[in-house]
Amino acid sequence: MTVELILVVVSVVYLLQVAILIYGIRHTRDDVDPHRRPFVSVVIAARNEEKLLPDCLHSVLHQTYPADQFEVIVVNDHSTDGTVSVCETFAWEYANFSFMNAEDHPRLVGKSNALHQGITKARGEVILITDADCVVPNTWVEHTARRYGSRVGLVGGMTIQKARTSFEGMQSLDWVYLLGLASAAVTLRNPLSTIGNNLSFRKAAYEEVGGYEKIPFSVTEDFMLFQAIVRTGRWEYLYPIDPHVLVTSEPCTTWKDLIRQKKRWGKGGLDMKPSGFVIMAVAFSTHALIAWTMLTGQIALGLSCLLAKIAGDYMFLRHILVKLERVNLLKYFYHFQAYNFLYVLLLPVVVFFGGKVVWKGRRY
């Protein structure tokens, strides 16, 4: 079989994969009941976040959910800036807000340690976690809580990034693409991953798997917890695409930070189930073969397959963004495509040969 024929076959498989994922997006599994009112604990791990934490807390504390039905707990993860001062100010103002300093743990380190201590203290039937650099809508707690029927143990959520420039916009679309894939996979009963800045779970489900104390260490602790709860087979899991629970995060400001983020995600993704690797392999093969055929003079074939791939990606992203009411982000689509083409090819090199992960001043 020639390289050209392999490219055609792989491109068809890529488009078929996109069509299946679009089906998953259009038929997202959901279970909403506005009468559900569990007590909710929002847990936030914060490490040197004095600049961004105030906006995060203002958004989390001003919710449509009754203030006496949820609490907010910030765990200070050995900050050396004014994070504690910010927490003290909010503690004076809000009765349902508290904070604590993370203590050293014999096995847990970093964010997983901070989150575990906050979750242990939490009184909520449902735990909601986000990051200190995020802003949530005022409907976030209410519309997450109403999805917790008696069998639901975990609810994932979508996150976009602030998009004020093309560099930020391409990152936001990248997140939409990856998290949309995760949501579609949940619909197809093939849960792959989630993101920890918009994740909730029943505390009973967390305790059942032993929490972060029993889960193997990973630089993407949210992914490991998600998989641990799903693998029990005892709990239903949802991943809605809903603007009422859409979180907004700060983007990376430099290419160096962006590469570090991708490396951390890539390292964590090495624990993914085989079906996830198949999706990644199809994407890598499609990009690599398009690049190869164009570099070796098969311009017409390479360009045709590239345009087909771009059309598939556009349709997939559009279906997600329509649901999120963020179609305006498509103005960054071509920036995203250029970025996506390069990092899909380079990510394996960065993951396997890029050294240790650096995150929040720590090396893993």
Q: What is the mean pLDDT of residues 104-113?
A: 79
- Could you give the residue ranges of the DSSP H alpha helices within the chain? 3-26, 53-61, 83-93, 110-121, 140-145, 166-187, 203-208, 211-214, 221-231, 255-268, 274-295, 299-324, 333-353
Residue type, 258: L
Domains of the chain by start residue, with CATH = 3-25+272-363 (no CATH), 37-260 (3.90.550.10)
The pLDDT, as a whole number, for residue 351 is 63
Distances in whole angstroms, Cα of residue 197 to Cα of each of 111, 176, 183, 229 = 12, 14, 15, 17
Coil, helix or strand at residue 308: helix
Of 137, 143, 158, 130, the C-alpha closest to 38 is 143
Q: How much of the chain, in percent, has pLDDT values that exceed 90?
A: 65
pLDDT band at 131 (very low <50, low <70, confident <90, very high): very high
Structure token pair of residue 351: 């993951």
**What pLDDT is attached to residue 54?**
96
| 24-75: pLDDT as tens digits | 999 888 888 888 999 999 999 999 999 999 999 999 999 999 999 999 999 9
> pLDDT tens for residues 312-357?
999 999 999 999 999 999 999 999 999 999 888 887 776 665 566 5
pLDDT the model gives residue 69: 97
Q: Is the dihedral of CA 309, 311, 313, 315 positive or negative?
A: negative
Dihedral over Cα of 19, 226, 329, 26: its sign: positive
